[in-house]
Amino acid sequence: MRFPKQELNIDEYLEKIKQLLDDSHCHIFIDTNIISQLYRLNEEARKDFYNWVDTCSSRFHIPNWSVHEYSNRVTTQKTNDYLSELTKAKTFSKELKNIGKFLKAYVGDSLLIGSSYAGNAQKLFDDMDNVSSMFEKISIVINNGLTQHQLNVHKEVLDKLETHILDSNVYSILGNLVFEADLRFDGKVPPGFKDSDKGTNRIGDLVIWKEILEFCKKYKPEGEKIKAVFISRDIKPDMVYRPIKQMKNGQQVNDEDKIGIAHESLVGEFKLITDSDEYYSISFYTLVQILAPQHRNLAVSFQIATEPENLIVETQTTEIITQEIEPCESVCHEIVDSSSGTTEETIPEATVPTEVYSVYALEDDKYDTSRGIERISYGIEELRSYNWYRQNAAIESISMGNQPIPEENAQNIKDSLFVLGRNVLQSAVGSSSSAINFIETLHLKTKFWHKSVKAAFIDGCLFEIFFDSKGKIRKKGFKAGFINEIVTSINKIGLDAPYSFINIQLSHKNEGRFVPEVGSDKKYKFEFGFDITEPTGLYPGDVKTSSLNINGVDVSDTFKVGYGHFFSGCDNLNYSLSVYYGIPTENIELEVLEPEIKGVSFIKEHEF
């Protein structure tokens, strides 16, 4: 058994999990509560989940005990417990009616003085009756659809997941646990000892664990280590622990953003049984975070369904204010207010551009929010939390108004807006549902913003796509999951030169790598070289990629990774290249691939 870790790099850990989910020797097991979560997702999100399961094929498993627990819910007609918020609608409708009766009995004109109902109590009663009547109609619709929803989800579970049920003998496992369970619980040996006082199903977690061990011992590949990932919504302290110091993107995270990793006792037992220490426990939240870039509907629906009721976020309105702030040092030229009719940017004729934004914004890992406008800084700090729910609340509080950037604080405010744009884009790429909505409807969200405010914010969004937190060009893929939506929105906003800043940055700071011209109608032709005699084994019909040219220029170095990793299926290749290289799909031209090629992998960095 290993000693527990006290430090964890979250980025490295999530990358490891991501690789495992695609590893042909890694088997994936889910808890019962993952099935129940499907009831709390919309139809498109469930499709995303089933599509992911299909990519795992025979490596995705449902323990028999999970099926047993779920079946108990179905046969006792308790799956509506999974939808408790919706089932409350009928009760709330009755409560509204009672409130209406209370108002009519106790509220008089003397209580309405100074309100919009002053001298007209009957209007208050009528409005309350209208609200009550409307919600009663909504309640009826919800309750009528609830049963059909449960039937639909259960049918999907049968159709999509039944073939993934393990064939383990739970009755034999139960018999063997008669004495072992008490010994483990007495010694607080994971998993499940926290359930030792439960009246029923106190050994459920332990039965599932034994199923996982039994399967992995039986099916471990010859000459290879078997690997296992267990996914649950309810990752408890008798299954995982949280290292004290956790880092993400080079910064230490708060307690609420720390993740749990498999208890070392479980890893040790897994090694004893399978001769492999590759056992991992992750939450469904972590899984959705990893899948989010390819399964956006799943991420958005999951956030809506799981937003904590007790989440307390101080919602300040992020708006431009003209308070006195000491300007930070920078080398910049002045942006002339675009509302004056002059050009927004004076582009100098120089080898290296004079910066519009300070080093604290361009290298935003140096950005100190205490330098900026308080309300904008608050939004930036919340967006940096890596917590979807805090990010969503922060995004929803952004309201800039139609005020120009005040000259006395121009540099500070431009920097703040620029960094805010970077963080909103980062949050959208990280699949914050509110950030996604903001970016997808950028031209509407910024409709009433002043042009100078829009320009700084958009510059930040575009800069984040191509440059990292140290202001350096991204070496491999760009962060361009929303390039199509952003360009479409920017073209509707009406700025005079919305792409000049980013194109100057790309042309002067590309470090010799390929970069596109943003916002133009230039076409980019992609030509792959393949060794069709050598399948990678990563994906059916996926062959070895040997080279990549764009418009006749070899860009293979930007498409290399240090391990064999699948990039995209051919039916989705245009979109995948758009996201990776920051080029709108309509500007991409693809050579016709051979019929036998069904997928494309990255070029392997090293050959041994």
Which of 140, 162, 184 represents a domain boundary (last residue)? 162
| Predicted local distance difference test score (pLDDT) of residue 510 | 92
Which of 479, 508, 537 represents a domain boundary (last residue)? 508
| Predicted local distance difference test score (pLDDT) of residue 183 | 87
Give 87 or 287, the one with higher predicted confidence: 287
Residues 50 and 112 in one domain: no
Which amino acid makes up residue 328?
C
Residue 389 resides in a domain: yes
Residues 468 and 500 in one domain: yes
Q: Is the pLDDT of residue 574 over 60?
A: yes
Residue 69 resides in a domain: no
| Predicted local distance difference test score (pLDDT) of residue 372 | 66
Query: Given pLDDT bands bounded at 50, 70 and 90, which one contains residue 87?
Result: low
Residues 128 and 37 in one domain: no
Tell me which of 19-28, 128-137, 529-538, 569-578 is least confident. 529-538
CA distance 535 to 541: 7
Residues 231 and 255 in one domain: yes
Phi, psi at residue 230, to the nearest 5°? -105, 130
Of all residues in the chain, the percent with pLDDT exceeding 90 is: 42
Average pLDDT for residues 157-175, to the nearest whole number?
92
Residues 504 and 528 in one domain: no
Average pLDDT for residues 390-394, to the nearest whole number?
90
Residue pointed to by tokens 């391990």: 563
In whole numbers, what is the pLDDT of the chain averaged over residues? 83
Give 116 or 584, the one with higher predicted confidence: 584
Residues 272 and 399 in one domain: no
Asked whether the beta carbons of 582 and 516 are under 8 A apart, the reply is yes
Residues 294 and 344 in one domain: no
What is the three-class DSSP state of 564?
coil
Q: How many residues does the chain have?
A: 608
Query: Given pLDDT bands bounded at 50, 70 and 90, which one contains residue 403?
Result: low
CA distance 364 to 464: 10
Q: Is the pLDDT of residue 608 over 70?
A: no
Query: Given pLDDT bands bounded at 50, 70 and 90, which one contains residue 221?
Result: confident
Residues 449 and 468 in one domain: yes
Average pLDDT for residues 291-316, to the nearest whole number?
72
Residues 197 and 296 in one domain: yes
Which amino acid makes up residue 444?
L
Strand extents, DSSP E, 240-311: 240-241, 245-248, 251-252, 261-262, 279-283
Strand extents, DSSP E, 323-468: none
Residues 351 and 474 in one domain: yes
What are the tokens at 103? Answer: 């108002």
Residues 431-462 have pLDDT tens digits of: 899 999 999 999 999 988 889 889 999 999 99
| Predicted local distance difference test score (pLDDT) of residue 530 | 87
Tell me which of 87-101, 144-158, 420-434, 578-592 is least confident. 87-101
Which range has highest mean pLDDT (139-148, 187-196, 509-518, 542-551)? 509-518
| Predicted local distance difference test score (pLDDT) of residue 406 | 62
| Predicted local distance difference test score (pLDDT) of residue 328 | 36
Residue pointed to by tokens 């792409």: 499
What is the three-class DSSP state of 8?
strand
Query: Given pLDDT bands bounded at 50, 70 and 90, which one contains residue 265?
Result: very high
Quote the domain boundaries for residue 504: 338-508
CA distance 403 to 406: 8
Query: Given pLDDT bands bounded at 50, 70 and 90, which one contains residue 231?
Result: very high
Distance set, CA 204 to CA 66, 201, 233, 243, 394 (Å): 8, 5, 15, 26, 39
Residue 127 resides in a domain: yes
Residues 231 and 122 in one domain: no
Residue 1 resides in a domain: no
How many domains are contained in the chain? 4
CA distance 185 to 190: 8
| Predicted local distance difference test score (pLDDT) of residue 102 | 82
| Residue closest to 330 by CA, chosen among 404, 405, 416, 251 | 416
Asked whether the beta carbons of 72 and 115 are under 8 A apart, the reply is no
CA distance 51 to 482: 22
Contacts 24+ apart (CB under 8 A), 245-250: 245/6, 245/7, 245/8, 246/7, 246/8, 246/9, 246/10, 247/7, 247/8, 247/9, 247/10, 247/11, 248/9, 248/10, 248/11, 248/386, 249/11, 249/365, 249/386, 249/469, 250/365, 250/469
Phi, psi at residue 53, to the nearest 5°? -55, -40
CA distance 500 to 508: 12
Average pLDDT for residues 477-483, to the nearest whole number?
93
Asked whether the beta carbons of 229 and 20 are under 8 A apart, the reply is yes
Chain centroid to CA 13? 16
Residue pointed to by tokens 């930007």: 558
Phi, psi at residue 600, to the nearest 5°? -125, 135
Indicate the angle between helix axes 296-306 and 388-396, nearest 10 degrees: 90
Q: Is the pLDDT of residue 369 over 50?
A: yes
Q: Is the pLDDT of residue 199 over 70?
A: no
Asked whether the beta carbons of 119 and 109 are under 8 A apart, the reply is yes
CA distance 149 to 151: 5
CA distance 293 to 198: 39
Which of 482, 508, 534 represents a domain boundary (last residue)? 508
Residues 461-472 have pLDDT tens digits of: 999 999 999 999
| Predicted local distance difference test score (pLDDT) of residue 334 | 36
Residue 329 resides in a domain: no
Which amino acid makes up residue 152?
N
Average pLDDT for residues 463-488, to the nearest whole number?
94
Residue pointed to by tokens 């084994």: 537
Asked whether the beta carbons of 183 and 227 are under 8 A apart, the reply is no
CA distance 449 to 493: 10
Distance set, CA 74 to CA 70, 78, 154 (Å): 6, 6, 9
Which amino acid makes up residue 208?
I
As to burial, measured by CB atoms within 10 angstroms (0-12 exposed, 13-18 middle, 19+ buried), residue 97 is: middle
Phi, psi at residue 229, to the nearest 5°? -125, 125
| Predicted local distance difference test score (pLDDT) of residue 316 | 43
The radius of gyration of the chain's CA atoms, rounded to the nearest angstrom, is 28
As to burial, measured by CB atoms within 10 angstroms (0-12 exposed, 13-18 middle, 19+ buried), residue 553 is: exposed
CA distance 431 to 292: 6
Asked whether the beta carbons of 262 and 207 are under 8 A apart, the reply is no
Q: Residues 6 or more apart from 25 whose CB is under 8 A from it?
A: 221, 224, 225, 226, 227
Query: Given pLDDT bands bounded at 50, 70 and 90, which one contains residue 150?
Result: confident
Residues 12-45 have pLDDT tens digits of: 999 899 989 988 889 999 999 999 999 989 999 9
Average pLDDT for residues 486-493, to the nearest whole number?
94
Query: Given pLDDT bands bounded at 50, 70 and 90, which one contains residue 146?
Result: confident
| Predicted local distance difference test score (pLDDT) of residue 312 | 39
Point out which residues pair with 554 in neighbouring strands.
Answer: 549
Point out which residues pair with 561 in neighbouring strands.
Answer: 604
CA distance 450 to 453: 5
Residue 315 resides in a domain: no
Residue 175 resides in a domain: yes
CA distance 132 to 262: 49
Residue 369 resides in a domain: yes
Residues 143 and 43 in one domain: no
Q: Is the pLDDT of residue 535 over 80?
A: no
